[in-house]
Amino acid sequence: MPKRKKTHSWPEPFGREALCLADQPGRAATDVARELGILAGRIYKRRFDKLPMTSIPKVPLEVDPSSRQEHSPRRAWPLWSTCVVLVALVGCGKGASDTSPPDPPAVTVARAAEREIIESFEFVGRVAAIEEVELSARVTGYLQERIFVEGLDVEEGDVLFVIEPDEFRAAAAEAKARLEQAKAGLTNAESALKRQAMLFKRGTVSEAGYDNALALRDEANASVAAREAELQMAELKLDYTQITAPFSGRMGRTAFSKGDVVGPDRGPLATLVQVDPIHVYFAVSEHRLLQAQKNRRFVREEKGIRTHVNVKLRLADGEMYEHSGRIDFVDNRIDPATGSITTRGVFPNGESLLTPNQYLTVVIEPVEPITAVTVPQAAIQEDQRGRYVLVVDLDNRVQVRRIDTGSQHGPDWVVTSGLEPGEMIIVEGIQKVRSGITVNPGTPMTRTPD
């Protein structure tokens, strides 16, 4: 059976990588050919190194023996490399002519606009009662009556609790009787002193007898004063059996029932808070406080604090509270732990919508509008260093610009620093660009104020 003649073909890995190299647009033909040559040389060197010596082609007989050279795998592979380079130069001739740079990416831009706005600032607020008191019994006794409904409003002077008064009424009557007894003794002592004074003038009694009568009169006077004080204390304790409201407000839950023993060491009976008007506390950062002081929106005066802002509230359901308030207190120091200062507003609360310890949003707005630079929200990006925008300069190159922002107004944000009016910023196509590249901005988009 005749032996099949061996043929050598292009290895499959070389064919795939050669096609990939030759199919890359925009690359010079010489670069592709050089890489193809290096690739072919490595593949065929590896292949010939593995062939046995009997498979190496022999030199034809017609060749001049003087020019015969020993064929070896190490001398055969450069020849294949040269062939591959020639093939690559022919195959890549078409790609060599397509070397024009790509067009700049198209983006949508807008100009930073300067317009008049009413910039508002929002803070988390907590409602607190202007007056709050824990009602406690000042005398010990049995609770006889509770004259109020828990959770409802009471007026100043209303009787809220009654402690059993019989014991204290009897003590007051006894103190009154002792006072009358002391007064009678004083009358007798004064009469005796008058008689002793008359006899002392006649010389019928000694001076010691007169002095003794005078001392008894003074002692009776002191006894009357002591009995008057006792009566006053007894009557005061009798009054303490009725606990009244010190101001108008709303009662809380009582801690005692009828018949319980109450007293100064038994704890408070209930809590009374004033709900109209009412306070709202919130913390302002030192940065916002400094801005307000520079713009003269907050001034301390002898009669109080004068502000040029509107203070409003947003309730938990998102609706605005119908009554505006005013700032009546700003603390005298900044909390070093939070970097903020405690501020307080006072609001009318006739409808009792605001409840102590309720959380809501405090909205501060200046009385007059201000001029500020605004940009679309879509243009603002944020990373670990903060917020920034991509600015397109006069040469259509992209620059990263760090900015500080204020409040949001519709689709726009207020830029407090880092951007000048009229500068072009990228709004759409941000994912296609990076700092330093050239872009095609086109015509800036038209912005309509909200």
Q: Do 87 and 29 belong together in one domain? A: yes
Q: Do 279 and 339 belong together in one domain? A: yes
Q: Which amino acid is at 101?
A: P
Q: Is residue 446 part of a domain?
A: no
- The structural domain count of the chain equals 4
Q: Is residue 358 part of a domain?
A: yes
| Cα–Cα distance for residue pair 207/214, rounded to 1 Å | 11
CATH at residue 360? 2.40.30.170
| Cα–Cα distance for residue pair 371/367, rounded to 1 Å | 13
Q: Is residue 245 part of a domain?
A: no
Q: Can you give the residue range of the structural domain that contains 412?
A: 109-116+370-432
pLDDT band at 387 (very low <50, low <70, confident <90, very high): very high
Terminal Cα distance for the chain, rounded: 94
What DSSP string describes 156-184?
Answer: TT-EEEEE--HHHHHHHHHHHHHHHHHHH
Q: Do 356 and 287 belong together in one domain? A: yes
Q: Do 333 and 402 belong together in one domain? A: no
The mean-pLDDT minimum among 95-99, 161-165, 316-320, 333-337 falls in 95-99
| Cα–Cα distance for residue pair 376/394, rounded to 1 Å | 21
Q: Is residue 170 part of a domain?
A: yes
Q: Do 290 and 359 belong together in one domain? A: yes
- Inform me whether the pLDDT recorded for 95 exceeds 70: no
Q: Is residue 302 part of a domain?
A: yes
Q: Do 406 and 360 belong together in one domain? A: no
pLDDT tens digits, one per residue of 107-153: 999 999 888 887 778 899 999 999 999 999 999 999 999 999 998 98
| Cα–Cα distance for residue pair 430/418, rounded to 1 Å | 19
The mean-pLDDT minimum among 285-294, 362-371, 428-437 falls in 285-294
Q: Which of 187, 221, 240 is a domain's end point?
A: 240
pLDDT tens digits, one per residue of 147-205: 999 989 899 999 999 999 999 999 999 999 999 998 898 888 888 888 888 887 887 77
Question: Tokens 């096609």 correspond to what residue?
Answer: 19
* CA–centroid distance for 56 within its chain: 82
pLDDT tens digits, one per residue of 324-355: 998 888 888 999 999 899 999 999 998 889 99
Average pLDDT, the chain: 79
pLDDT band at 312 (very low <50, low <70, confident <90, very high): very high
**What helix, strand, coil percent values describe the chain, rounded to 5?**
35, 30, 35
Q: Is residue 124 part of a domain?
A: no
Q: Do 334 and 410 belong together in one domain? A: no
pLDDT tens digits, one per residue of 25-83: 545 555 656 666 666 666 655 555 555 544 444 444 444 445 444 444 444 445 444 54
Q: Do 287 and 345 belong together in one domain? A: yes
pLDDT of residue 35: 65
Q: Which of 347, 366, 385 is a domain's end point?
A: 366
What DSSP string describes 290-318?
Answer: HHHHHTTSEEEETTEEEE-EEEEEE-TTS
- Give the count of beta carbons closer than 10 Å to the beta carbon of residue 382: 9
Q: Do 344 and 378 belong together in one domain? A: no
β-sheet bridge partners, residue 110? 425
| Cα–Cα distance for residue pair 437/430, rounded to 1 Å | 12
pLDDT band at 411 (very low <50, low <70, confident <90, very high): confident
Q: Is residue 266 part of a domain?
A: no
CATH at residue 394? 2.40.420.20
pLDDT tens digits, one per residue of 230-247: 999 999 999 999 999 999
Angle at 127 between CA 126 and CA 133, to 5 degrees: 125
| Cα–Cα distance for residue pair 255/327, rounded to 1 Å | 36
Q: Do 343 and 408 belong together in one domain? A: no
Q: Do 350 and 376 belong together in one domain? A: no
Q: Do 294 and 216 belong together in one domain? A: no
pLDDT of residue 58: 46
Q: Is residue 255 part of a domain?
A: no
CATH at residue 209? 1.10.287
* CA–centroid distance for 424 within its chain: 32
* CA–centroid distance for 98 within its chain: 57
Which residues fall within 8 angstroms of residue 447, CB to CB, at 6 or more apart?
110, 111, 113, 376, 412
